[in-house]
Amino acid sequence: MAGQGLAAGFLQVPAVTRAYTTACVLTTAAVQLELLSPFQLYFNPHLVFRKFQVWRLITTFLFFGPLGFGFFFNMLFVFRYCRMLEEGSFRGRKADFVFMFLFGGVLMTLLGFLGSLFFLGQALMAMLVYVWSRRSPQVRVNFFGLLNFQAPFLPWALMGFSMLLGNSVLTDLLGIVVGHIYYFLEDVFPNQPGGKRLLLTPGFLW
């Protein structure tokens, strides 16, 4: 009965959040079971465009490392803030939410290539947290019961904690930069004198 209740609760999670977190967990499980190797997942332009291993454009966002504290920490934040965005500012706007993923993914892939970053899931998580935090500036966040601060400070707190876990600062910074670009184009620029909305969701996503 408990398993059925858990399954029913998960099915109530918004579709995009459910699909992305499930894909991340299944990818990590496949690596843990040695069905896949991380070397088959990372972003490599040569293998993508010369060997047509196009799945790497997606799997680079799905692998968060081996099972351990770091993985569960990342999954917790991915699930929490992805869901809060989908149920909050993107409620009833699933196509716009998917387009945010696509916009962020393309930009991260281009910038990540310049910075020689091969796994970008953590950057995508940082982007989700950043966009949520800027849209929820008055919310107070309790960070593991240790710190209390306004939501806009959360991405920077996460970056500091990520450093303690031994992760690259560049990955978090990439997510923050791309998140800020999205937030500026979607929330700030359209409200400026002479501004307009530039990020228009393509029709094929509706």
Where do the domains of the chain lie?
2-205
pLDDT at residue 8 in the model: 57
**Sites in the chain below the pLDDT cut of 50:** 2, 6
How far apart (Å, rounded) are the C-alpha atoms in residues 138 and 150?
A: 6
Q: Which CATH number fits domain 2-205: 1.20.1540.10, 3.40.50.1820, 3.40.1410.10, 3.40.50.1100?
A: 1.20.1540.10
pLDDT at residue 146 in the model: 75
pLDDT at residue 136 in the model: 94
Q: Give the global pTM.
A: 0.92
pLDDT at residue 11 in the model: 66
- pLDDT, one tens digit per residue, over 3-62 is 555 455 666 889 999 999 999 999 999 999 999 999 999 999 999 999 999 999 999 999
For 157-173, letters b (16+ CB in 10 Å) and e give: bbbebbeeeebeeebbb
pLDDT at residue 185 in the model: 96
